[in-house]
A = this chain, B = another copy of it.
Amino acid sequence: MTRSLSITVDPIAEPALVSGRTLSPGMGAAVSFAGVVRGLEGSDPITALEYSCFVPMAEHQFHLLFDRLAERGTVESVRLVHRIGRVAVGEASLWVEVVSPHRAEAFQACQWLIDEMKRVVPIWKKPLRD
């Protein structure tokens, strides 16, 4: 399973990421998710989220999750970009793509990865109202 991980302060360039996708001939499904900062945190309007990250541990924990995906044997490729620092409303903080032979596996793996990330990867967010 190929894996690509980026934890970055740069904006997430989704079109370029999509252009960069490579598929072997056995692959039939690419599921991707973009998580975008909403203008409300609870019921309060915000302008941005400030993401902080314990980067070495986040990278390690992401790779432990990728290891578990690889063990399934049904995922050909996973790519994940998490933006940190200030992310304005309407901008993506997270992009995940999973490529598999069949769509059910790709959907399930993509959702599993996001759920697990939200449990174990040390990233936190703070609402900004400036």
**Residue positions of A touching B, CB distance < 8 A:** 14-16, 18-19, 23, 25-40, 89-90, 101, 103, 106-107, 110-111, 114
Contacts and interface: CB of A to CB of B under 8 A. Distances in A.
Q: How many identical subunits does the complex contain?
A: 2
Contact of A39 (B26, B35, B90): B26
Nearest to A93: B28
Contacts of A28: 35-38
Contact of A18 (B14, B25, B27, B89): B14
Task: Give 9 nearest A-B pairs by CB, closest first.
Answer: A25-B39, A15-B15, A30-B34, A28-B38, A15-B19, A15-B18, A14-B18, A32-B32, A18-B18
Contacts of A111: 103, 107
A103 B35 contact: yes
